Structure 1
Amino acid sequence: MSDKPRIWITRRLSDATLKRARRDYDVVVNEADTPGTADEIVAASHDFDAIVPCHSEHFTAEVVARFGDRLRIVANHSVGVDHCDLAALKARDIAVTNTPDVLSDATAELAMLLMLGAARRAVEGDTLVRTGAWDSWSPAFMVGKQVTGARLGIIGMGRVGRALARKARGFDMEIHYCNRNRLRAEMAEGAIYHDSIESLLEVSEFLSLHCPATPETAGLMNADRFAMMPKGSVMVNSARGALVDEAALLAALESGHVAAAGLDCFVTEPGGNPAFSNRLDIFMLPHIGSATTRTRDAMGFRALDNLDAFFAGRTPKDLL
């Protein structure tokens, strides 16, 4: 029997991550690459010293209450930890870590893609060409909204929000932000601070969401807040689906008050919202913000770095 810590990896991580994990630990990988169920997570708490989950595995208070005594650490392969009841895990003396920093640029790239795709009517244009329906042109054809020089509002100026701001400056955008705390001048890099979401929305020709999903931020963008945005604005969400009241977004699009939306996350995942599927003014992707080879390797290695520190008796860098 191996004297190495026994690790359950709940999803198929990058090849480089799995190679390193198998070198250093006694590893079991869920080769089926399906979300771990509550019963599987509970069983793993009896059989493994550590679990490396993704946001698809849910460590609710009810699940944690059924845990055995073997599990010592949950080393998340994600930044967001809204799938973990941190208080319940702490009460069982189970360490929890995440993987910040390493996916900021990839997610910000995707937010920029969503912004450009929504603004320049990418879904509609792609559909015209792909279906053979493009049979004319005029100066009034497929006119969209210009990103360059526009005002961008960012809700949540953490790592990803700041990475997006840096990229948006390449488009000469005027950056505005709302955050729990005002950033130091060297971090804000000229971005204009708003002490309320309402104040930010009033100036946001483009709006990008980058705050965590919490009970306080659920439905953050609702009917009242969409109405506060300038007519013809564009909203982008590459954070968490729970931040947006999807019925309110549909109503704002149908009225024309919001011109378009770019979405990488949805209230229901996987699957998304079927009501969005026939709308050419919503540019959608299937929650792939961090899906680059470089970033997935970095996320896996960050999770393993946290495990290495923990089992060596050191405090993991990303201990929550």
Structure 2
Amino acid sequence: MRIVVTRRIPGPALEILRAAGEVWLPDEDRALTTEELRKAVGGASAMVCMLHDTIDGPVADAAGPALRVVANVAVGYDNIDVAALAARGVVVTNTPGVLTDATADLTVGLLLTLTRRIAEGDRLLRARTPWSFHLGFMLGSGLAGKTLGIVGLGQIGQAVARRARAFGLDIVYSGRSRVPAAEAALDARFVSQDELLATADVVSLHCPLTPRTRHLIDAAALARMKPSAYLVNTTRGPVVHEAALADALERGEIAGAALDVFEHEPEVEPRLLALDNVVLTPHLGSATVETRTEMAVLAARNVAAVLSGQEPPNPVRG
């Protein structure tokens, strides 16, 4: 069986795949163009893809009738037309759970970097800008007693909330439905999105990207936030309307933002690059050796299971 891997992955995952079939890897470690992807998948029984790969009906048709499984090395699967693949009898899988702690750690790191102006201070020193200590120098914002608003209290949102409690933050959250067990464990309060935006000192995004959440944070949502509030996004870039965010930051409508994901990734709204009250990282949420290896291994196990006629560990349900 031919297994197409769209980008290089850690060795332990490749070992699993090579035991299940003949593995194809691109010569260069870069994102494939649409044309390259369709050419590569011809005759494939399985695909291991990344979040920047768009896998739709035409890609499945290019693979042909042998295609049985598409394993996304990510939790989100907004890059995959699940319905189109299901109509062709193709199983779609993802890699939930394994990146929860890594992403939550980065979220808190971004929050601290933003509110305590850590990156800004680093840039000041590297530029050899003259400075001296005084009581008004580069003041940031403390966290104790402030309110963290979490949009989407899933696994990652809950992990962020647990860490946030250690800093003395109060927790409110919004989402499609309440999570009573998490409320009790985290002393978290369910509120409407409007109330969350209006009252939170920090808004942290952890909802999946769907048609409903695309541009969830737009000009109107940003206008509801307090001028002293911060926005953190480690979920999917298009949840935030980047141009509207740049407008709000330039006008001082909110205090700052930290982004690990971008609306048109890898491109970034140019105005955000010029603002000192913005922290930017290149999609590092899951970027630890341990986490990325485990993600790839889980994707490989999903492939191996389907090709051997078994139920995969992490099927995506419609």
Task: Normalising by structure 1, report the TM-score.
Answer: 0.93
What is the match of residue 53 of structure 1? 49
1:213 equivalent to 2:220? Answer no
Larger RCO (CA within 8 A; separation ≥ 6): 2
* Residue 10 of structure 2, aligned match among 14, 24, 27: 14
Check the 8 A contact 2:68/2:306 in 1, yes or no: no
Taking structure 1 as reference, are residues 188 and 11 closer, same or farther at Cα in structure 2, changes over 3 Å only?
farther
- Give the whole-Å Cα distance in 1 for the aligned partners of 2:36 and 2:66: 15
Match of 2:262 in 1: 266
Cα distance between partner residues in 1 of 2:190 and 2:130? 44
Instruction: Give the whole-Å Cα distance in 1 for the aligned partners of 2:133 and 2:224.
Output: 35
Between stretches 115-124 and 31-40, larger displacement belongs to 31-40
Partner of 1:193: 190
Out of 65, 71, 74, the residue aligned to residue 70 of structure 2 is: 74
Shift of 1:151: 0.6
Cα distance, 1:186 vs. partner? 4.8
- For 2:241, the aligned partner's letter is D
Aligned twin of 1:287? 283
| Pair 1:33-2:17 in alignment | no
Tell whether the 8 Å contact from 2:43 to 2:63 is kept in structure 1 after alignment: no
Query: Following superposition of structure 1 onto structure 2, how do residues 121-160 of structure 1 map, counting pairs within 5 Å?
Result: 121-160=117-156
- What are structure 1's unaligned runs of at least 5 residues? none
- Aligned pairs for 1:80-119 (under 5 A) are 80-119=76-115
Deviations 1:26-61 (A, max 9, x none): 211224111122223323443211000001110134
Aligned residue pairs, count = 315
Given that 2:48 and 2:71 are in contact with CA atoms closer than 8 Å, whether structure 1 keeps it comes out as yes
Whether the aligned pair in 2 keeps the contact of 1:46 and 1:69 (CA below 8 Å) is no
| Per-residue CA distance 1:182-218 (angstroms, 9 max, x = gap) | 1123565221111x21111122100100111111111
Is 2:181 the partner of 1:165?
Answer: no
Identify if the C-alpha distance between structure 1 residues 171 and 160 changes in structure 2 by more than 3 Å, giving closer, same or farther. Answer: same
User: Contact conserved, 1:54 with 1:76, CA < 8 A, in 2?
Assistant: yes
CA offset at residue 312 of structure 1? 2.4
Q: Structure 2: how far apart are the matches of 1:207 and 1:130?
A: 30
**Alpha-carbon distance, 1:66 to partner:** 4.4
TM-score after normalising by structure 2: 0.94
| Preserved contact between residue 46 and residue 71 of structure 1 (Cα < 8 Å) | no
Q: Any idea what SS the aligned residue of 2:255 has? A: strand
Q: Does the 8 Å CA contact 1:202/1:230 hold for their aligned counterparts? A: yes
Correspondence for 2:229: 233
Task: Note the alpha carbon deviations across 1:104-128, whole angstroms, 9 max, x for none.
Answer: 1101111111111111112321111
Q: Does 1:297 align with 2:293?
A: yes
> Helix, strand or coil: the match of 1:52?
strand
Distance in 2, Cα, partners of 1:79 & 1:264: 15
Counterpart for residue 172 of structure 2: 176
Contact 2:3/2:21, CA 8 A, preserved across alignment? yes
Query: Structure 2 regions of 5+ residues with no counterpart?
Result: none
Question: CA separation of 1:186/1:122 partners in 2, compared to 1, >3 Å: closer, same or farther?
Answer: closer
Q: Distance in 2 between matches of 1:107 and 1:152?
A: 17
Query: Following the alignment from structure 1 to structure 2, what is the Cα–Cα distance between the partners of residues 71 and 40?
Result: 17
* RMSD, aligned α-carbons: 1.6
**Matching residue's letter, 1:319:** P
